[in-house]
C-alpha cells in the first residue's frame, strides 16, 4: 500500500515568489491536513480538507492557502514568500476526520 | 488554545535502558493523545496513542500513561535499542469542526540510544 506522497521533496524559491506543494494521500483516505515544521516553532497545523472542503484552519496568514481535488489529492500554495516561510511542509492523510493520521516525508522549502 | 509542554528536549540513554518522555497539556477538553516518532529525513510516524477514557496503553516495548486530573501524559520505552534513536513528539487534541482531531504538538524530544 503506497504511503502519502509529497512533491517536490526540495524546493528553493526567492522572496516574493509563490509556491505550490502537492500531496497525494493514501488510497481511500479522504482527509488531508498540512503542517509547517520549523526549529523555532515546531510542528504547527495549517489547514485540513475533507471531501474537497476546508474543515479547519490554523493561525496562519492568508498567504497560505490550499485546496483538495475530487480524487483527494491536495495542494497548498504560499504567495509572496518570506524568508520565515522556510520550513518542512508536511502533509498527513486520514481515512476520516477522527482516524489515525499518516504523514508524508515532507517538502523542504527554502526561501532565499 | 491548547498548549503542550514536552520534556526533556534531549534524552541520552545506553542501549537496554528505559526512556521516559513527559508532556503536559492545558486544555482539559483534550481527549486524544498521540505520540509520533520522526527519523531524520522522514515525516512523523504514529507509534502509540491513548484516549482520555484509558489510563494506560502498552504495545510491546512502548507504553503511554495518562493522568487526566494532572493533565499530563508520558511515553515509556523499555529495553531501548539504537534504532529507537529519533525525535519523539507528543500531541494533544480534541474534536474540532467536522469531528476532526487537530493535534497541538510538543516541541519534541531527541532520543539518543548509545550502543
DSSP chain A: ----EEE-SEEEE-TT--EEEEEEPPTT--EEEEEEEETTTEEEEEEEEETTEEEEE-S--TTEEEEE-TTS-EEEEE-S--GGG-EEEEEEEESSTTS--EE---EEEEE-
Those residues with Cβ within 8 angstroms of residue A30's Cβ, 6 or more apart along the chain or in another chain: A50, A51, A72, A94, A95, A96
A48 contacts chain B (CB < 8 A): yes
pLDDT at A1: 62
Q: How confident is the model at residue A40 (pLDDT cuts 50, 70, 90)?
A: confident
Cβ pair B101:A103 closer than 8 A: no
> Which of 68-97 (B) contact A at CB < 8 A?
89, 95-97
> Does B43 contact A98 at a Cβ distance shorter than 8 Å?
no
Write out the DSSP string of B49-115.
EEETT-SEEEETTEEEEEETTTTEEEEEE-S--GGG-EEEEEEEB-B-GGG-B-PEE---EEEEEE-
What chain B residue is nearest to A51 in terms of C-alpha separation?
B98
Q: How far is A58 from chain B (nearest CA, A)?
A: 9
Looking at residues A17-26, what average pLDDT do you find?
98
Q: Residue A2's pLDDT is what?
A: 76
Per-residue cell: A11: 524546493
Interface contact A40, partner B, CB < 8 A:
no
From chain B, the residues in CB contact with A98 under 8 A are 95, 99-101
Check residue B54 and give its pLDDT: 83
What local confidence, expressed as pLDDT, does residue B99 receive? 67
Q: B7, B38, B102: which to substitute to probe chain A, counting the most A Cβ within 10 Å?
A: B102
Could you tell me if B107 lies within 8 Å of chain A, comparing CB atoms? yes
Distance CA B115, CA B99 (A): 44
B23-62, pLDDT tens digit by residue?
999 999 999 999 999 999 899 999 999 988 889 999 999 9
- Interchain contact B100–A (C-beta under 8 A): yes
Chain B CB within 8 Å of residue A104 CB = yes
Amino acid at each position: 500500500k503506497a504511503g502519502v506522497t509529497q512533491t517536490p521533496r526540495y524546493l528553493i524559491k526567492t522572496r516574493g515568489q509563490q509556491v505550490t506543494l502537492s500531496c497525494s494521500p493514501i488510497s481511500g483516505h479522504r482527509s488531508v491536513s498540512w503542517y509547517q515544521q520549523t526549529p523555532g516553532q515546531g510542528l504547527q497545523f495549517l489547514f485540513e480538507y475533507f471531501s474537497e472542503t476546508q474543515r479547519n484552519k490554523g493561525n496562519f496568514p492568508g498567504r497560505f492557502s490550499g485546496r483538495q481535488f475530487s480524487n483527494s489529492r491536495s495542494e497548498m500554495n504560499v504567495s509572496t514568500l518570506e524568508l520565515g516561510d522556510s520550513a518542512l511542509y508536511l502533509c498527513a492523510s486520514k481515512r476520516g476526520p477522527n482516524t489515525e493520521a499518516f504523514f508524508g516525508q515532507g517538502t523542504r522549502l527554502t526561501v532565499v | 488554545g491548547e498548549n503542550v509542554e514536552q520534556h526533556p528536549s534531549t534524552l541520552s540513554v545506553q542501549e537496554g535502558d528505559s526512556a521516559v518522555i513527559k508532556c503536559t497539556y492545558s486544555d482539559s477538553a483534550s481527549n486524544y493523545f498521540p505520540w509520533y516518532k520522526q527519523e531524520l529525513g522522514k515525516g512523523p510516524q504514529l507509534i502509540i496513542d491513548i484516549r482520555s477514557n484509558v489510563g494506560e496503553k502498552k504495545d510491546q516495548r512502548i507504553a503511554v500513561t495518562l493522568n487526566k486530573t494532572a493533565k499530563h501524559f508520558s511515553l515509556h520505552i523499555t529495553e531501548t535499542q539504537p534504532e529507537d534513536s529519533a525525535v519523539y513528539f507528543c500531541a494533544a487534541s480534541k474534536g474540532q469542526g467536522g469531528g476532526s482531531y487537530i493535534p497541538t504538538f510538543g516541541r519534541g524530544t531527541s532520543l539518543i540510544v548509545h550502543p
